[in-house]
Amino acid sequence: MLEAADRLKSQCQSQLELTLNLCNLGLGCCERLTEINGQSARALLTQAGTDGQSWLRGDATGLMVGTSRTVLDHWGSMLACYTDLQRQVLAGLAKK
């Protein structure tokens, strides 16, 4: 009976550690996404300030190119973050 209780305790402890590790991975990803979003927002604000006058004069080329570049960089960074999270989660699950 004591042996079964110890085994159950060990399994529960292992599951709790796995859950903690997965939660920490998720929080790390959220922190990275917050940084990515902040960088993109700053880049877009800078772009609007730089090319805003051109836009008002009817030349939207600079604004469109700069904004598109920022959006693609943002998308690429987010995709890399999600891919890294998935890789880490799968690695964590494989250990258990």
pLDDT digits (tens, 9 = 90+) for 8-57: 888 899 899 999 999 999 999 999 999 999 999 999 898 888 877 777 77
Residues in the chain: 96
Report the C-alpha gap between 11 and 93 in whole angstroms. 14
DSSP-based three-state secondary structure for 57: coil
Q: How far from 24 is each of 3, 10, 30, 45, 89, CA to CA, in Å?
A: 32, 21, 10, 32, 10
Output the pLDDT for position 59: 78
DSSP-based three-state secondary structure for 58: coil
Output the pLDDT for position 96: 66
25 with 14: CB under 8 angstroms? no
Q: Which pTM does this prediction carry?
A: 0.79
